Amino acid sequence: MQWILLSVIYYGLYGVNALDYSNYPAIQRFQEYIQINTTTGANLTPAVEFWTQLAEEQGVPINVYEYGEGYPIVVLKWAGQDSSLNSIQLNSHMDVVPADENEGWSYPPFGGVLAEDGNIYGRGTQDMKSVSIQYYEALSGIKANNITLLRDVYMTLMPDEEVGGEDGMIPFLQSDEFSAMNVGLELDEGTSYPIPIIPLFYQDKVVWQIKVDCHGVAAHGSTFPATNTTATGKCRNVIDTLLKFRDEQYIISTSASIFDAGVYTSVNLNRLNGGTANNIIPSLVSLTFDIRLGTRVNEDAFQAQLEQWIAEAGDNIMLTYISKNPQSPATLVSSSNPYWIAIAEAAQTLRIPIVPIVPPGSTDARHVRLAGVPAFGISPMANTPMLLHAVDEYIPAETFLRGIDIYEQIITNLANIPGSETSTDPSVYIVKTAL
List 161, 204, 364, 408, catalytic entry: 161
Strands (DSSP E) found in 115-175: 119-121, 153-158
Q: Tell me the three-class secondary structure of the chain, residue by residue.
A: CHHHHHHHHHHHHHCCCCCCHHHCHHHHHHHHHHCCCCECCCCCHHHHHHHHHHHHHHCCCEEEEECCCCCEEEEEEECCCCCCCCEEEEEEECCECCCCHHHCCCCCCCCCEECCCCEEECCCCCCCHHHHHHHHHHHHHHHHCCCCCCCCEEEEEECCHHHCCCCCHHHHHCCHHHHHHCEEEEEECCCCCCCCCEEEECCCCEEEEEEEEEECCCEECCCCCCHHHCHHHHHHHHHHHHHHHHHHHHHHHHCCCCCEHHHCCEEEEEEEEECCCCCEECCEEEEEEEEEECCCCCHHHHHHHHHHHHHHCCCCEEEEEEEECCCCCEECCCCCCHHHHHHHHHHHHHCCCEEEEECCCCCCHHHHHHCCCCEEEECCCCCCCCCCCCCCCEEEHHHHHHHHHHHHHHHHHHHCCCHHHCCCCHHHHEECCCC
Q: Is the dihedral of CA 173, 178, 181, 186 positive or negative?
A: negative
Catalytic, 161? Answer yes
- Which position among 95, 162, 167, 364 bears the catalytic label? 95
Is 189 catalytic? The answer is no
107-122 as b/e: b if 16+ CB within 10 A = bebbbbbbeeeebbbb
Give the residue numbers marked as catalytic.
Answer: 95, 161
